[in-house]
Amino acid sequence: MFISDFAIKRPIITVTAMVALVVFGIVALFNLETDEFPDVQQPVINVTIAYPGAAPDTVEREIVEPIEDAIFAISGVDGKKTTSSSTDSLANFTVFFDFEKDVQEASQDIRDAISSKRADLPQEMEEPILTRFDPADQPIVSLVLTSQALDVPALTLIADPMVVGDLRSVPGVAQATVVGGVDREMTVQVRPAALQAAGLSVAQVVAALQAQNLAAPVGRLNTELQERTIRLKGRLETPEDFAQVPIAERGGRTLRLGEVADVFAGTEEPRTLSLYNGAQAVGIEVIKAKGYSTTEVADGVRERVKMLQQRLPANAKLEIVRDAGTRVEDSVVNVQQALIEGALLTVLVVFLFLNSWRSTVITGLALPVSVLASFVSVWAFGFTLNTMSLLGLTLAIGILIDDAIVVRENIVRHVEMGKDHYTAAREGTNEIGLAVAATTFSIVAVFVPVAFMYGVAGQWFKPFALTIACSVLVSLFVSFSLDPMLSAYWPDPQVEKGERRNFISRVLTRFNHWFDRQADRYKGVIAWALDHRLAMVLLAVGSLVGAVALQGVFGGAGFVPVSDRAEIEMLVETPAGSSLDYTRRKVEEVSRLTRQHPEVAYTYTTIGVPLPLRSPGVDQALVYVRLKPKTERKASQEVLGKTLRQELLAVGGANVSVFTSGFGGAIKSIQLELRGPESKGLNQFAQQVMKEVKQVPGAVDVGLSTRGEKPELEVELNRGVAGQLNVTVGQVAQSLRPAFAGLDSGDWVDPIGETRDVMVRLAPRFRENPSDLTQLPLVVGSTATGAPVVVPLGQVATVNQTVGPAQIDHLNREKVINVQANVAGRSLSEVMNDVQTRLEAVKVPPGYAVSTGGESADQQEVFGRVFLALGVAVMLMYLILVIQFGSFVDPLAILVSLPLSLIGVVLALVVTGDTLNIMSLIGVILLMGIVAKNAILLIDFAKWQHEKGLPLREALIEAGRIRLRPIMMTTLALIAGMVPVALGHGEGGDFRAPLGRAVIGGVITSTLLTLLVIPTVYEILTDARTWMTGKLRRVFKASGQAHGPAHGGGEPRPQPQARQD
């Protein structure tokens, strides 16, 4: 071969090329950013629009429906995933786009769409807030600020601006936000009785305050040589200043704000809350900027926290409660350890078979060179050093050394035939070269289509697949250059000159003699297999049928493996209409029960904070439970979650959902999407479906996406009375909104120079009962003497107590209710199959529909794309083999080997209790390339011997004997490389373990079956081709004799060129 011949003739160039690959690889490695998972970017835009004071059905009618019409007219919108929700005073849209859509363009399209509808939307609507939903934008570090002496407002002042401002200066920190803080404000609490006595309305108070508290630019004075800015000092500074603001004139006397309201420097009414181990605290979430390493940013934050702790007051403490940087670093280190351990085990297998430290070194050099050179491709493609790219290298360890093993083993065999090391290096490499190239290109053919899959699956698999493909290509180059060159110039005296061996070599020699005897016996096994074709065919078909049946009966499927990351999340939902204090009491009860378990390190709770794909509200809380390290506790994350789920059923007045998967956050695995035209009917239908889902074993935390019905007070204006008194709906709204919702009526600069809000509202004691609403004073005109006429709201309106929906959701512009559930004790596929069976008994009303969403839908989508990519990969592999063998029939025998691994995969997963998930599926992908390798080595040698004149049967038997050693070496090397992954030790090890187990199981069964089935199938196909060719020749010969030559005959068909020795 050209590459090997050139490498042997020009050793200096070969060594230089290897050194260059290693140096470039090391440089690329030190320039790579570190992260836990690939950067998955889907164009998803979240739109939030506040509509103060509006009920959910009003928000739906006046905001959501018009804007949905505009958004769905945008090109590239994925309507099947796009959702919206209407809650109290808030509309929220989650707009999914096709992957080809540019995020910036998508954002601008949404802004333009909303602008086109702005004239039809309510004037009271606030400006839309657009944010890009990115999994990478999740907080990487969560901090908590606690104190036994300071209250929450004081802690908030420390958190922002001191702590937050300092953290934002850390390189790579994009944002640091306060959670559960209480900001200061100038509070104006109006007294209704004083308003009525003074003949004032709340709206008049607000208007007077806004007019008396402002600072506006008013121009400048210009002279010939100077200009001076004119500054109007109209900003009020102290509560006393605010109390002296004139509101109105009554009887020749000026009424001031302090006479009708209590004015003081207070705090806002909290809508969020943070608790650390049950005590109120202030949380700080740190989000990293795009393009920065998670570990580097987290390290910077940790260092800054140490510095900040020294500057904090003595009675305040800043602690880290969640640190993704540590987890990522541990996970990456664990993968690196698995990579190194796998490499050492692989090299040990090589030494076991080759019984020569020189051969082991020559073969083993392929590993560091290929691995380090692979980092160049990782860096060039713009990937990070994450679990998937490193996992690709870990899996490739067994494959990378395969080519070197086969080449070196063949060279050694030629030396043992009596050739000198230089000739053996050239001829041995030439003999095996095409087969090795075919196996390598077959592996590349498997992974390239996988790397270019569409959607989330493609972005998830791309680093893994391209890393393997590039590393395998590099290993092929090393095997064809470095290995032959070293073999040619670095002879092994123990092999060539029969020098005395040491004790270990003598033991390994006996092992190799034993193996050679087994190889000779294997000739008899192949002969038996060739004589029992039907049995071999039934064995192959039986293994495939058995794999499918075993998976269907005993195996389960899921999206991601359950991973023990030493953390549990719990979603606590209180009844709709619950206050912040009520939710806090229930959360404290849940946290207290949780902390009683010795496995729990601490709990951290946030209330009223927006959760992924959920609208915010004070009736929901997220409890983060940090567990002790795996080595310090007896119960696993999954077992403890099951125990907590049972114990927390005793907590009344709240629903608690427990999430233990380690991925996906507080989003339930099962999402049944029920769509229909009418809310009442949809609710009844959802209740029926939920009742059925609750009966399914393994379905836990079953609930609805709606929050039930929320108590409301409905103010209905008596139009007749209101008309007589000249009261309009607008006047009522202008008094109600500031009185009960509160109205920001200007700015106030506090003593430390921070700008705060001036908030006008009724005092809390006047906002507790429905009767307080009826007593709200309204100014309806004036008497003949000019005195204002004040009437209570109850005189012109009726206040009714009703209930209304707490949340209205849309999917693809239709009303939707999700029946949600988690999975425990069974696989996702098993639970979903039982759910679908039970749903068949539920009658779906006309106009209503049921579809599957959530993790189950993601699983179907990803699995479907992977299987499609595998189909393309098999076709590419076939075409490569057609070119290699010069035949369209011979490669079919090799493709038959692909399903032979599936029975081993299923058996391994069933025995270890794993599911067919995204990680074990990666193992199946890997097997498609590996399994074909053994068949290629067998068929290539048999075909070569047959072309040299050996009968086909003897060629197949001889190929089995000669190729058994490299096949077993590569198989055991691959298994050795996978053992550290399959054991699943360390941080994130259990997430990767199904992959290693699937590969080991599949390799064992496929190797055993390949050695029996493939020679038989090849002989069957060859005989069939010979029979068919003879049949066609006789037919064409008879036809030619009947009609004679058409155009004077033709040139004979060229024969395939035999390989040269």
Q: Alpha-carbon distance 610 to 617, whole Å? A: 8
Residue 795 and residue 721 in contact, taking contact as beta carbons nearer than 8 Å: yes
Residue 795 and residue 786 in contact, taking contact as beta carbons nearer than 8 Å: no
pLDDT at 1055: 46
Q: Alpha-carbon distance 316 to 157, whole Å? A: 12
Assess whether pLDDT exceeds 70 at residue 500: no
User: Among candidates 91, 82, 78, 77, which has minimal Cα distance to 48?
Assistant: 91
Arithmetic mean of pLDDT over the chain: 84
Angle between helices 324-354 and 952-983 (to 10 degrees): 150
CA 796 to chain centre: 56
Residue 923 and residue 1001 in contact, taking contact as beta carbons nearer than 8 Å: no
DSSP string, 606-651: EES---TTS---TTEEEEEEEEPPGGG-SS-HHHHHHHHHHHGGG-
The mean-pLDDT minimum among 41-55, 504-518, 890-904 falls in 504-518
Write the pLDDT tens digit of every residue in 766-775.
888 888 888 8
For tokens 């409301």, name the residue.
712
pTM here is 0.81
Q: Alpha-carbon distance 1041 to 1052, whole Å? A: 17
**What percent of the chain is predicted at pLDDT more than 90?**
8
> In the structure encoding, which two tokens stand for residue 652, read together?
């009344």
Assess whether pLDDT exceeds 90 at residue 23: yes
Q: Please report, to the nearest 10 degrees, the dihedral formed by the alpha carbons of residues 557, 561, 567, 568 taken in order.
A: -10
Q: Alpha-carbon distance 405 to 476, whole Å? A: 11
Count of CB atoms within 10 A of residue 684's CB? 12
564-660 shares the fold of 356-496: no
Q: Alpha-carbon distance 374 to 923, whole Å? A: 20
pLDDT at 20: 92
Architecture of domain 44-133: 2-Layer Sandwich (3.30)
For the domain made up of 520-554+887-1028, give the CATH fold: Multidrug efflux transporter AcrB transmembrane fold (1.20.1640)
Domain boundaries, the chain: 44-133, 137-183+270-327, 185-218+229-267+711-777+789-805, 356-496, 520-554+887-1028, 564-660
The total number of residues written for the chain in this structure: 1061
DSSP string, 148-194: SSS-HHHHHHIIIIIIHHHHHTSTTEEEEEEES---EEEEEEE-HHH
Q: Alpha-carbon distance 660 to 658, whole Å? A: 7
Q: Alpha-carbon distance 468 to 672, whole Å? A: 37
User: Among candidates 304, 306, 298, which has minimal Cα distance to 323?
Assistant: 298
For the domain made up of 185-218+229-267+711-777+789-805, give the CATH fold: 3.30.2090
Assess whether pLDDT exceeds 90 at residue 1024: no
- CATH numeric code, 137-183+270-327: 3.30.70.1320
- Helix, strand, coil % in the chain, rounded to nearest 5: 55, 20, 25
The SS3 assignment for 890 reads helix
CA distances from 127 to 121, 309, 612, 897, 1036 (A): 11, 39, 22, 62, 81
Tell me how many degrees the CA angle 95-100-106 measures, rounded to the nearest 5. 40
Write the pLDDT tens digit of every residue in 506-542.
777 788 788 888 888 888 888 898 888 888 889 888 8
> In the structure encoding, which two tokens stand for residue 884, read together?
């290699």
> In the structure encoding, which two tokens stand for residue 791, read together?
């009437």
The SS3 assignment for 900 reads helix
Q: Per-residue confidence at 1056, pLDDT binned at 50, 70, 90?
A: very low
pLDDT at 193: 86
Write the pLDDT tens digit of every residue in 943-992.
888 888 888 888 888 888 888 888 888 888 888 888 888 887 776 678 88
Q: Per-residue confidence at 703, pLDDT binned at 50, 70, 90?
A: confident
User: Which has more confidence, 138 or 889?
Assistant: 889
Q: Per-residue confidence at 1049, pLDDT binned at 50, 70, 90?
A: very low
Count of CB atoms within 10 A of residue 1006's CB? 28
Q: Alpha-carbon distance 377 to 383, whole Å? A: 9
Tell me how many degrees the CA angle 105-111-117 measures, rounded to the nearest 5. 140
Assess whether pLDDT exceeds 80 at residue 117: yes
Q: Of 99-113, 656-670, 1021-1035, which one has max mean pLDDT?
A: 99-113
Write the pLDDT tens digit of every residue in 786-819.
677 788 888 888 888 888 788 889 998 889 998 9
Q: Per-residue confidence at 1, pLDDT binned at 50, 70, 90?
A: low
What amino acid occupies position 798?
A: T
The SS3 assignment for 444 reads helix
Pick the CATH number of 356-496 from 3.10.20.30, 1.10.3210.10, 1.20.1640.10, 1.10.3720.10: 1.20.1640.10
For the domain made up of 564-660, give the CATH fold: Alpha-Beta Plaits (3.30.70)
Write the pLDDT tens digit of every residue in 194-247.
888 888 888 888 888 888 887 777 788 888 888 888 887 778 888 888 889 898
User: Among candidates 34, 282, 287, which has minimal Cα distance to 140?
Assistant: 287
| HEC sequence for 544-561 | HHHHHHHHHHCCCECCCC
User: Among candidates 463, 330, 458, which has minimal Cα distance to 396?
Assistant: 463
**H or E element: which one contains 1?**
none
Assess whether pLDDT exceeds 80 at residue 174: yes
pLDDT at 719: 84
Assess whether pLDDT exceeds 70 at residue 646: yes
